[in-house]
Structure 1
Amino acid sequence: MHALQYELTLPADYDTEIIRARVSRVGRLLDDWPGLGLKAYLLRERGVHGSPVNQYAPFYLWNAVDGMNDFLWGGGFQRLTDDFGRPTARQWTGLAYDEGMTAGSPARFAVRLRRPVPDTGVLAEAMGEAVDEVGRLAREEGAVLAAAAVDTSRWETVHFSLWEHDGPAAEGDLFQVLHLSAPGRAALPRGRQW
């Protein structure tokens, strides 16, 4: 599993209905993208749910790196860069994935938490704690799914979870889910990824 996310931080007075309309228009284009586990089309609005910014920040979980590369180099990502410029696309290697207690429910909210891996200690223990957190989140009421991944160039983990309600039992940035494309969600490997 591979995770990918880019963030477009928009002006404070930006009309976020433009993003909603865009997702309504193009969101279904990835509903059957080969190699894609899921793409959550995410939005934070300044002043809503404590967000300090307007931000469009899709989050992906990929089953296959060739599917991710086809998206990045084969035209899917180009539509975004043509409209907004080229954002930094962060990538992480998968650590764990699990379906939540309400896996069949629609995802209305997402939480993303990035945190540094401690400079000292045993790496396997730090990664094990990230895996354990995925299991804890997946068992919470309202959890649709939970995942964790690591960026070894920055030594940073990312925890990502989807929720059916707006009071998730997870720390981090809260996003609204505008659309969920999940053609390969059932094929995402569950549990620890090593």
Structure 2
Amino acid sequence: MIHDPALGPQHGRDPTITVAAIAMVFQAANLMPWRKIRENITLGLEGIEVSETERQKRVDHTLDLVGLADCGDRWPYQLSGGQCQRIGIARALAVDPDILLMDEPFGALDAITRAGMQDELLRIWSETKKSILFVTHDIEEAVYLGDRVLLLGGKPAEIIKEYSITLDRSERREGEAFLRQVEEIKAGLYEAIAMTHNGNSDGE
């Protein structure tokens, strides 16, 4: 959950203020090896007041959503890297968050699996319509997945530039428009790096 320090302690928070539910998908799936897949997905639900029936319903739904409906009784070691990341996404979605944070979730995957997971994420997004904040160092991935790309730079990091991605999704793997968008963001990145370098030099 998002908790604004300005609101004071949780027990003193104005009950009329809406607090957004957030779930996190990490760079590594971080599945518990001593728990079967269903039990890994229910991990995030253990701190939420939901009935056992509702809990199992959410597990079934999210397993089906990520295309692994038949894997609930398996152990993590029996799944591939891409499948484990799907379970990580299922675990996050099971809590029914308003916002899904994803911290380079496909960075450790091979190129083919990564491309497949990108398509899977778009499919899941189209079905759930969850707001997703996706962190990546891969500009092509950002353009392919995003509606907006925020370029961060500096120390501490801050938003340097914002790009709206208006390409049709069918044009986002290749084509001149896709490449132009990627090159535009690359140019902004190089500019940000140069500004940071010059700023450090001036301070020395």
Q: What range describes the TM-score normalised by the shorter chain of this pair?
A: under 0.3
Higher relative CO (Cα under 8 Å, sequence separation at least 6) belongs to: 1
Higher strand share: 1
Higher helix share: 2
Bigger Rg, structure 1 or 2: 2
Q: TM-score, normalised by structure 2?
A: 0.25
